[in-house]
Structure 1
Amino acid sequence: MVSAQKKAARPTPVSALREQIESFLAGCRQPAALEPGEAPFEVTPAAFHFTDFPKHLQFEIWDEQRTLMRRITGIHQRRTARLTVETARFGGKPGLLTFTDLGRPQSAAPLLESSRSVLRELLRRWLARQFPGWTLDQVSSGADLEHTLSPACPRACLTKGDRRIAAVAVPLPHAADALTHALLWLAYLRRRHPVQEIAIFLPCGTQTTTLLRLQHLNVACRPFQYDDSGFEAPIDPEDHGNLITRLEPWQEGPPEPVNEAQSWTRQVELQPSVQGVQLTGGARSLRVNGLEFARYEAGLLWTGVFRKEPAPNLAAVEELAREVALFRHSGGPAPEHPWLLRQPESWLESLVRDQVTMLDASLLPRPVYGQVPALTGCERACLDLLAVEHSGRLAVIELKASEDPNLPLQALDYWIRVAHHAARADFRANGYFSGLPISCKPPRLLLVAPALQFHPTTETLLGFFASNIQVERIGLGVEWQRIPRVVLRASGARSPEWDQTDL
């Protein structure tokens, strides 16, 4: 009798399963349920329900737009911030469902994987609607580091007879680099089969940069936009709007010091390690190997590397200049000093400013401008310079000190804007290159980086550039911070010519 009572009191496997899940959810600060291909469900007491059956636990959850019902058959894996259970869909198809705590940092990984799964499944639906009669040959969101294919952007290939279309869906955080992902996927497929065009799905409101770039690329593309509800619609490739850019009038500072702060600025600039860079509006930046330590602006001299304060006196500024020069050079006394490691692109910029003819003897050594026109609303990892040839043709110089697959298309953004203003003769009208003839021809584009830091995909991406864009890669030797020297040159997408004496 006692034995029978004990047996009756023992929890069933289903009730034990439910107890484990409820215990996990009770310990979560912000519980959520994730299933591959679906956006996360917030788990609130009023929006989910468990039902016990003899052989499984039925779980139902809903929000304002969706309902999800699954049969839970067992625990798959349990960790601090997530609990993954085994499920059976209707028809018996097995699957996994993850309960996670959005209030813990450990939930970032399953959330990221869930969002990628959602976008991958949306891409399937979009392609089925937009390309009826085509066969979805493959769809993937896996990482392929060898070919620089990101797991963040699901990709697919459609076939119809002997025709093929590449397709890519781009999430919002990667919208600025959408064409980089799309073109690398297209190039990957073309190494195996002829592919005629590419379809690219962009978040609403992010299409302008992509559409502007497409005007200067040799690629057939069908752009689409999608909204938060998952609805997609075609975009007219010509509907890129007006070119949004800004060319500030160039204003040189007064030729002679007119106040104490300007006098200090000019005296500090006489130090051999200090480089003075004229900025728009009469401001002047004082730098050592590209690292700014002082700036004259609005009648005051501001000093400091990480935080600027009004200069107390000339001696303090000169002492700071000497201290920065001590650490900000190759072979300095502290290899890990933050002043040495900070802003390598700015260091590269300072070298090119001083020795621009090293890149090409046809360039005038002066003047060389930094980032004009400004790219409104763009965050850029590269730095740009604008120089001019003896003939009057402009040269856009894009600088990058480390590997970056986005370098070619980011450089194209700047080239587009400079070409726009050159055609309108805006540079002469706004005071740039005073006294020099400025051509209205499209500018040259020079990509400058340490030779071993050009990303392997650079040639691939340059192969899509329109023929009217004269682009050249220029690589510096490994000791460029100590002895700047050109060791690599390549035109367009051609293989480079190397001088291997200084790699």
Structure 2
Amino acid sequence: MMEHPTNSNDTEDARRRIADLLDARGEWFCGVLDHGRRGHRASAPVALRKGEWEVSTSNASLLFSAWSELGTRLWRVTGWEWTGEKLLLEATRRMGAERATLELVPRASASAALMALTAARLAAAERLSKLSRAMVGAGTQVERMGLSTGARRGEPGRYARIVLQTRGGGRVAVTGPVADLRRHEVDSFLASALLWSFRIGDRKTNSHPTPLWLIVTHATASAVGERLTLLREALRRDIALYEVDEARENLAPASTPELRDLLRADTARFKRPARVVVSGLAERIVALDPEAVDVVRAGHGETLRFRGLAFARVRRVGDGEHLWFGVDGARRRRLLDESSWPQLLKLIEELSEHRRADARDERHALYKNAPEAWLESLLRRDITRLDPGLIISPLHAQFRTSQTDAPSGARPIDLLALRRDGRLVVIELKATEDITLPLQGADYWRRVETHRRAGGIARTNLFGDAMIADEPPLVYLVAPTLRFHRAFDTLAHAVSPDIEMYRFDINEDWRAGVRVMRRVCANQIAPDPASGVF
């Protein structure tokens, strides 16, 4: 159970016990689980040797300092727990602007756990190999078997990598998850599988491509099948989808619908997003810095953002409006009243100082957190910076095509816009590399096109009285030039040409103003095999 020191005696006792634990084991791995706006993000563990950490007290506060990739970091520890296998420290930095859980694992324990995890995943890969060999037929041999590259150096991958040799001399590439795969991770799995299959194919002899088998569970088979439908026909012909029949302990073919059938599929009735009615309390806050603060609708009220970073929420409780403020990751949010008004003004002052294009400290949490939301906030104010043909308003941000999107793990579309010629435009923004970007954009296109064909978007007057063209949406994939993943062109070319997809390269210093440096059609021209990106 987590212990929280409440006085100087508790603090000193905790310091002594933690120091004894650390000193008793000479080497540790220290990982940081950052509790930020977009959920929990884990950093790569750093190896620490004796002398590279210090536990101390100051003014009844428990402090922990240790070496990291960015230099020495000092944390204020608010809670701690020794589980018998690892030491957990609840900690904050920068006056509460950063909140995280530090996880320290003894080096010997970490190595043993890693070996056990690797063995378990290899055993799962062996099971997939056995099932696929039985499916191919007698005489099939394993040419090679292993795991995909892990997320961190030394970690086992999450996908099996199997190449089978058939009796007739042919080859079959087989891959499937050997760890839990959730629906929102399907794009990552498919992107990894496609790139692996391209690498093992024989490009020099131009021989027939190696068939690719994807083996998944029943829970994710439909989602993977939908993504396969969005690929080029020539590529789809060489991909087979199977799901594991746990009862019979064999593989069963899973269906992959045709694109025309997928777009005609029954969908939940399209509902127009509720109009954002800005409350008087929110208007009062926006007036403090109208160029930086905007309001977006939340589940039960409004969220106020400073250049994309949420810092306050307004909720109607009974007959009154109430506002809680504090950035995500802060230990707690405060209710706004007359006594806390100065603290809100101080927070906005800090945001104004650190969350600006010319901020002096670009490593400050208020600067670096939620970069895509910052980019979105700039484009919401003037979407014509991206494309002069786009209508400025209405422009729908964080757009969900269905009420079931959130429970299923599906992410909202960053921006849904309308061109002056009536074409809908799906806009996906990235500020960092993301290998799934082309596949993600294709899936968003599918969701919007399904509702367009069903008439839901026109029926609900999503864009007012503007005419919606009887044409599929365009897809704009936007990122700074150096933040497109190196496999972007390869994966974009795998997407069906029926999906009109464009790559927008913007300037690296976009925080000072968005400029389009290059715009190209992303999925019409084949990538250069000599690039080595396959």
Asked whether the two chains share a fold, i.e. TM above 0.5, the reply is yes
Residue number in structure 1 paired with 2:336: 311
> After superposition, what is the alpha-carbon deviation per residue over 1:429-473, rounded to whole angstroms, capped at 9, x for unaligned?
334211211234321111111111111111111122112100011
The CA deviation string for residues 345-404 of structure 1, in whole angstroms up to 9 with x for no partner, is 211211222232222222112222122225243446886211111122111111121112
1:206 counterpart SS class: helix
Give 3-state SS (helix, strand or coil) of 2:427's partner: strand
Is 1:165 matched up with 2:172? yes
Alignment check: 8 A CA contact 2:400 2:412 kept: no
What does 1:62-211 align with in structure 2 at a 5 Å threshold?
Answer: 104-132=109-137, 135-136=140-141, 138-143=143-148, 151-159=157-165, 161=168, 164-174=171-181, 176=186, 177-192=188-203, 193-195=207-209, 197-211=211-225
TM-score calculated relative to the size of structure 2: 0.65
Please say if 1:268 is aligned against 2:295. Answer: no
Tell me the distance in 1 between the aligned counterparts of 2:469 and 2:139: 49
Contact 1:141 1:152 in 2 (8 A): no
Q: Write the distance in 2 (CA, Å) between the matches of 1:363 and 1:121.
A: 52
The equivalent residue for 1:395 is 425
2:323 corresponds to: 301
What does residue 88 of structure 1 align with?
none
Higher normalized contact order (CA 8 Å, seq sep 6+, divided by chain length): 2
- Kept after mapping to 2: 8 A contact 1:373/1:418: yes
The 8 Å contact of residues 145 and 163 in structure 2, kept in 1 or not, is answered as no
Q: Is the 8 A contact 1:290 1:349 kept in 2?
A: yes
Counterpart AA for 2:335: P
1:347 corresponds to: 374
* Cα shift readout 1:234-288 (whole Å, capped 9, x = no counterpart): 233147996666744322245xx7xxxx223223223243332442779443222
- Kindly indicate whether the alpha-carbon contact (under 8 Å) linking 1:392 and 1:437 is maintained by their aligned counterparts in 2: yes
Question: What are structure 2's unaligned runs of at least 5 residues?
Answer: 1-83, 86-105, 528-534
- The CA deviation string for residues 319-347 of structure 1, in whole angstroms up to 9 with x for no partner, is 53333122111332443322112111211
Distance 2:177 2:126 in 1: 13
Distance 1:210 1:379 in 2: 14
Query: Could you say which residue in structure 2 is the equivalent of 1:279?
Result: 297
Distance change in 2, residues 1:212/1:243 (3 Å): farther
Q: 1:294, 1:305 within 8 Å by CA — same for their partners in 2?
A: yes
Match of 1:372 among 388, 400, 415: 400
Deviates more, 1:241-250 or 1:415-424: 241-250
Q: Call closer, same or farther: CA 1:140–1:281 in 2, change over 3 Å.
A: closer
User: How does the TM-score come out when normalised to structure 1?
Assistant: 0.68
| Structure (1 or 2) with the larger CA radius of gyration | 1
- Rounded Cα–Cα distance in structure 2 between residues aligned with 1:479 and 1:350: 15
Specify which structure has the higher proportion of strand. 2
Q: Percent identity?
A: 26
Specify every segment of 5 or more residues in structure 1 that has no aligned partner in the other structure, as ranges: 1-79, 82-100, 497-503
Letter of the structure 1 residue corresponding to residue 198 of structure 2? A
1:113-169 superposed Cα distances (whole Å, 9 cap, x missing partner) = 112211221232122111115744633325569xx9x83212233455575433212
Give the aligned length.
390
Partner of 1:460: 490
* 2:231 alignment partner AA: L
Name the structure 2 match of 1:46: none
Contact 1:249-1:280 within 8 A present in 2 as well = no
The 1-side partners of 2:410 and 2:429 are apart by 11
- Is 1:484 paired with 2:514? yes
Cα pair 1:368 1:387 within 8 Å, conserved: yes
Greater displacement, 370-379 / 399-408: 370-379
Distance 2:312 2:202 in 1: 52
